[in-house]
Amino acid sequence: MEKKVSVIILTHNSYKDKAGSIEFVINAYLQQKHTPLEIIVIDNASDVDNSAKLQSFCADKKFVHIVKCNASIGGARNLGVKHSKGKYIIFNDDDTIPIQDDVLEIVSQYCDNGQYGYGANRLWSPDINWIKSHESKINIAIENKNWDFLRKIYQRPSQDIRHKNEISVKMLTRSFIGNFGFISVKDFITVGGFPEYHGYGCEDDAFAFLCYLKLGKPVILNDKISVLHISHQINAINLQQLETNKILLQKLFEQHGYKHFHISRVLFPSDKPVIDY
Task: Kindly compute the dihedral angle of the four CA atoms of residues 30, 33, 36, 41, in this order, to the nearest 10 degrees.
Answer: -30
Q: What is the C-alpha to C-alpha distance for residues 103 and 224, in angstroms, rounded to an integer?
A: 9
pLDDT at residue 156, as a whole number: 73
- List C-alpha distances in Å: 129 to 19, 54, 156, 231: 8, 21, 17, 10
Segment 166-194, tens digit of pLDDT: 667 888 999 999 999 999 999 999 999 99
pLDDT tens string, the chain, 277 residues long: the values are: 789 999 999 999 999 999 999 999 999 999 999 999 999 999 999 999 999 999 999 999 989 999 999 999 999 999 999 999 999 999 999 999 999 999 999 999 999 999 999 999 999 999 999 999 999 999 999 999 999 999 999 877 765 655 566 667 888 999 999 999 999 999 999 999 999 999 888 999 999 999 999 999 999 999 999 999 999 877 778 878 889 999 999 999 999 999 999 999 999 999 999 999 9
pLDDT at residue 188, as a whole number: 98
At position 203, the amino acid (one-letter code) is E
At position 229, the amino acid (one-letter code) is H
- List C-alpha distances in Å: 78 to 173, 178, 185, 197, 204: 25, 11, 11, 12, 12
pLDDT at residue 272, as a whole number: 96
Q: What is the C-alpha to C-alpha distance for residues 138 and 150, in angstroms, rounded to an integer?
A: 7
Q: CB of 48 within 8 A of CB of 62?
A: no
Q: CB of 186 within 8 A of CB of 235?
A: no
pLDDT at residue 163, as a whole number: 57
pLDDT at residue 235, as a whole number: 77
Q: Where are the domains of the chain?
A: 5-235
pLDDT at residue 199, as a whole number: 86
Q: Which residues pair with 220 in a beta bridge?
A: 118
Query: According to the 3-state scheme, what is the secondary structure of the chain?
Result: CCCCEEEEEEECCHHHHCCCHHHHHHHHHHCCCCCCCEEEEEEECCCHHHHHHHHHHHCCCCCEEEEEECCCHHHHHHHHHHHCCCCEEEEEECCEEECCCCHHHHHHHHHHCCCCEEEEEEEECCCHHHHHHCHHHHHHHHHCCCHHHHHHCCECCCHHHCCCCHHHHHHCCECCCCCEEEEEHHHHHHHCCCCCCCCCCCHHHHHHHHHHHHHCCCEEEEEEEEEEECCCCCCHHHHHHHHHHHHHHHHHHHHCCCCEECHHHHHCCCCCCCEEC
CATH of 5-235 given 3.30.2130.10, 3.20.20.70, 3.40.50.360, 3.90.550.10: 3.90.550.10
pLDDT at residue 167, as a whole number: 65
